[in-house]
Amino acid sequence: MNARKDLDDHTPTLHVGSKIRLYGLLNQTLNGKKGSVTGPARNNRIGIQLQEEQRRVSVRISNIRYWDDPEQSCQVLYERMVAKAHIEIATLRTEVKTQEEKSGKKSIHTALARYNLGSALWLSFKPHETALAIQEFTLIIEFMTQREPTHPLLRATLKIRDIALKYIQDLETEGTFAAWPYWKSPSTRSDDTKEMEKLFYELIAMTDRVKERTITASTMKDGLHRYGLFGFCSPTPQLIDLATFLTMACYELSEMKLKQQNPLHTTPPQNTEHQSSPSSEGDDT
Domain boundaries, the chain: 2-68, 74-171, 182-285
Among the residue ranges 215-219, 234-238, 266-270, 271-275, the one predicted with the least confidence is: 271-275
Mapping DSSP onto H, E and C, the string for the chain reads CHHHHHHHHCCCCCCCCCEEEECCCCCCCCCCCEEEECCCCECCEEEEEECCCCCEEEEEHHHEEECCCHHHCHHHHHHHHHHHHHHHHHHHHHHHHHHHHHHCCCCHHHHHHHHHHHHHHHCCCCHHHHHHHHHHHHHHHHHHHHHCCCCHHHHHHHHHHHHHHHHHHHHCCCCCECCCCCCCCCECHHHHHHHHHHHHHHHHHHCCCCCCCCEEHHHHHHHHHCCCCCCCCCCCCCEECHHHHHHHHHHHHHHHHHHCCCCCCCCCCCCCCCCCCCCCCCCCC
Would you identify the CATH topology of the domain 182-285? Answer: Recoverin; domain 1 (1.10.238)
Give the residue, 10 or 101, on which the prediction is more confident. 101
Do the two domains 2-68 and 182-285 of this chain adopt the same fold?
no
What are 61-113's pLDDT values in tens digits? Answer: 999 988 877 677 777 888 888 889 889 999 999 999 999 999 999 999 999 99
For residue 57, give the amino acid letter. V
What are 151-167's pLDDT values in tens digits? Answer: 999 999 999 999 999 98
Rounded to an integer, the average pLDDT of 195-214 is 91
Decide if pLDDT at 268 tops 50. no
Rounded to an integer, the average pLDDT of 23-46 is 91
- Average pLDDT score over the chain: 84
Is CATH 2.40.40.20 the classification given to domain 2-68? no
C-alpha to C-alpha distance for 81 and 271, rounded to whole angstroms: 17
Rounded to an integer, the average pLDDT of 209-223 is 89
pLDDT for res 127: 85
C-alpha to C-alpha distance for 230 and 275, rounded to whole angstroms: 10
Q: Band the pLDDT of 242: cuts 50, 70, 90.
A: very high
pLDDT for res 275: 33
Rounded to an integer, the average pLDDT of 217-231 is 78
Percent of the chain with pLDDT over 90: 47
